């Protein structure tokens, strides 16, 4: 079920996609090799060591960009949930099929922020 996320900020937004919630079907992480200098504490010799590192993928929104067809697993990413909570990202729609949805009039799924209910006055206790 693809989702559409829209950036609400007028600057670039980058979110890291950690392996745990994002790589269910296929790992999108990158394997990279970094070179570190290791010093032998006894002799003081320095040697270059190649260390393999697992880098998570990331996703970038341009200012006010809307990206559709995103996997639902993104909603499990803490950074994306935080961005939605701060109002930096907006969950536009969660479509069951890829056909273009009707704009505006269609009822939205509000997964992020449920509308506040009308407060009812508490019953008076006698
Ligand atoms: Zn991964």
pLDDT for position 106: 47
Residue extents of the structural domains in the chain: 3-27+57-94
The neighbouring-strand residues paired with 104 are none
Cα 73 to averaged position of ligand 1 atoms, centre (Å): 13
Mean pLDDT of 71-84: 92
pLDDT for position 60: 96
Counting runs of H as helices and runs of E as strands, what totals does the chain give? 2, 7
User: pTM above the 0.75 mark?
Assistant: no
Cα 82 to averaged position of ligand 1 atoms, centre (Å): 21
Cα 29 to averaged position of ligand 1 atoms, centre (Å): 4
C-alpha–C-alpha distance, residues 32 and 76, integer Å:
25
Cα 68 to averaged position of ligand 1 atoms, centre (Å): 21
Cα 22 to averaged position of ligand 1 atoms, centre (Å): 7
């Amino acid at each position: 079920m693809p989702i559409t996320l829209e950036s609400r900020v007028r600057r670039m937004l980058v979110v890291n996609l950690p392996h745990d919630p994002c790589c269910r079907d296929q790992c999108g992480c990158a394997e990279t090799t970094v070179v570190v200098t290791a010093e032998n504490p006894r002799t003081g010799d320095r040697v270059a060591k190649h260390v393999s590192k697992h880098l998570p993928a990331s996703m970038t929104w341009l200012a006010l960009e809307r990206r559709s067809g995103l996997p639902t697993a993104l909603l499990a990413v803490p950074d994306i949930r935080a961005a939605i909570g701060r109002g930096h990202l907006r969950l536009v729609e969660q479509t069951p099929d890829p056909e273009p949805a009707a704009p505006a009039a269609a009822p939205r799924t509000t997964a992020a922020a449920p509308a506040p209910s009308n407060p009812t006055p508490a019953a008076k206790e006698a």
